[in-house]
Amino acid sequence: MTPPWPALSLVLAFDDEATEAEALARQLACPLALVVRHRFPDGELKLTLPTPLQGTVLLYRGLHQPNEKLVELMITAPAARALGAERLLLVCPYLAYMRQDIAFHPGEAVSQRHIAGLLASRFDGLVTVDPHLHRIASLDEVMPGCRALSLSAAGLLGRWVAQQVPQPLLLGPDGEAEQWVREAAQASGSAGAWCLKERHGDREVAVKLPPAVDFRGRAVVLIDDVASTGRTLVAAAQLALAAGAASVDVAVTHGLFVGDALVTLQAAGIRHIWSSDCVPHPSNAIPVAPLLTEGVRRVMAGT
């Protein structure tokens, strides 16, 4: 255990995530203030923070559509320290650039390592949900000197699904989803399985159903950490329906739903699409503020 931080004095957020930040601030019994943005004609940003600041300041910023938001963080963090913040805690429900965790070809930048290191240099702590970590055990490996905590929303997904669908079969669209399916199944007392996937490109995937599972008449719910183009979920849904599933729904932590992903999922015969509010989207059904609150308290206490 490391020493606890000064008391949390303020939750800072941006206007496009005010609803989610307000829910967290309410759970933490802490005031909320917004960073005011002004965009100049050339695209540069001017950010205005409340002043003065003190104690521990929490900055709420998800990194879906990340590039401009990373610039916001790089300006906001040193500005908050200059205004009096003693500690800075970033609550980042969706942590971008985590999937590129190895150089597959010569010269490729390993963005996970570089973006994580950049954030660690600006913030004293980080709380995130279901980052895409497959070749490292924890964020500590790429965020030295930062109290980084990775939480999982899989249990929340599992309990939500169990309330909506009687006796669901939780199905991961690929082997990488196994960890989330296992946790969701354990939290809800549901059955779980996962498909096998071969990726042939950004939008081309081949999926095979688990051979020992009888899908006939089953209410299948696809569970995953992130839905981006949705192609893997579509492939798994079509196979499950062809194998006799009575229905297919989707529950994901991060609903990115790039381009026509949502329309494509619905056209594939998927009945309901649920996501957590880690990424603001009309499909949001599962609030993560209680989970984030627990994480914030753990990081601040040094546990």
Question: CA-CA distance, 205 to 176, in Å (whole number)?
Answer: 14
Q: Which of these is catalytic: 46, 69, 197, 208?
A: 197
SS3 4: coil
CA distance 167 to 144: 43
Q: For tokens 């989970």, what's the residue?
A: 291
Asked whether 280 and 134 are in contact (CB, 8 A), the reply is no
Q: Is the dihedral of CA 221, 227, 232, 237 positive or negative?
A: positive
Sign of CA dihedral 74, 76, 77, 81: positive
Cis previous bond, 31, omega within 30: no
- Among 104, 224, 131, 248, which Cα is nearest to 176's? 224
Task: Report helix angle 154-164 to 178-188, nearest 10.
Answer: 50
Q: How far, in Å, CA of 98 to CA of 225, rounded?
A: 12
Q: Is 197 known to be catalytic?
A: yes
d(C-alpha 174, C-alpha 269), whole Å: 19
CA 172-235-219 angle, to 5 degrees, is 55
Structure tokens at 231: 């192609």
Q: Quickly tell me which residue has 């071969």 as its tokens.
A: 198
Instruction: For residue 248, give the nearest of 159, 160, 155, 170 by alpha carbon.
Output: 170
- Measured distance CA(76)–CA(136) in Å, rounded: 29
Q: In 65-153, where does DSSP find H-type helix? A: 66-82, 111-122
Q: Active-site positions?
A: 197
